[in-house]
Each structure stands twice: as C-alpha cells, then as structure tokens.
Amino acid sequence: METDRRGSSFRASKGTRRAVWVVLSLLVVGIGAWCFQHRPEPDPYAEDRAHLQLSSTSMTAGSQVEGSVVIDNDTGEEIEVPGCLTPFRVALGNEDHSTIAFSPACLQTFTLPVGRSTWPVLVRATETLCNDGDAIPVSGPACQQLPLPAGVYQATVNGAPAGFVPAPVSVTVT
C-alpha cells in the first residue's frame, strides 16, 4: 500500500506542478505583454552620434530656417574642431546644385564637450553667384545671393569631425 500512496502522491504533485507551470507561464506572458505596451518611446537618435534638426523641411526660395546639429560625444574626451562663428555649416544641394557651405574668412577653434551638445545652424535656400556666373564658395562685391530654384534638396552638414557627420535631411524648396 505504501507504493500506491507514493505513486498517487507523486501523480498529484505532478498535476500540481503542471498547474503551477501553466500559471507561471501565463504570468510571464502577461507581464511581458504589459511591459511591451508600456515601454518608453525610443529616442530616434539613440544610435546616432550626430543628427541635424531643422525647424522646417519646407522652405520658400531665398528664405532661411533655423536648425541645430546635435552631437553625442561618447569618446570620453573633448574634440576640437575648426570653424568660423560656428563649427558647423549646413548647405542645400541636389544633382543640379552643389552642397558647399562657405564660411566667412575667419578661423576659430570650437570644443565639442563630452556628452550631448547642441549647436545652432542656419540653412539658406540661396546660392552664391559671382561675376563669372559660377557658383563658388566666396563672397565680396562681385558676388550675390540668389534664390535656389524650386525642388527637393539635401541639407548636409559641413565641418563635422569624422564619426560625427549627421545624415542629410531632405528639404523641399518652393
């Protein structure tokens, strides 16, 4: 009789074990589903070390929009970069127009601190034309700023150090 009792006890505990496993499994699935629904919104720039933000991606020819270059310097060291008034310049370009952003004739050193830093930029829907009719990155009395033709352009950042170049941003000029 003892064997039967052990066997039935074993069977009862086996059934209890199954019930516990079913309950635990349902709890894990339920908690997992709740966590999935209540997870924080991901930072769209979490994987990027640099990105370009513009106040608008639609511009009128000849106008300008403000923006910023956001740098996540995770190197553990400050980074020095050259620039003029700002370390970054943003230019609009496409197949028909170059993406050169010219700088005034000055040279300064800027320090990108460790961690996240934000640098203001200005994006102009213009091109510089000089007396010979070529678009070149110079300025002076023989040069003028003309509105860009309507179209889709890429806003690209000039002056970013290697490893910190933001992806271009598509901009429509009307």
pLDDT tens string 60-94: 999 999 999 999 999 999 999 988 888 999 999 99
Cα 89 off chain centre by: 16
pLDDT band at 38 (very low <50, low <70, confident <90, very high): very low
- Whole-number pLDDT of residue 7: 54
Its pTM stands at 0.66
- Whole-number pLDDT of residue 43: 46
Average pLDDT taken over every residue of the chain = 77
Higher local confidence (pLDDT), 47 or 143: 143
- Whole-number pLDDT of residue 98: 75
Average pLDDT estimate for 147-161 = 92
pLDDT band at 131 (very low <50, low <70, confident <90, very high): low
> Environment class of residue 168 by beta-carbon count within 10 Å: exposed (0-12), middle (13-18) or buried (19+)?
middle
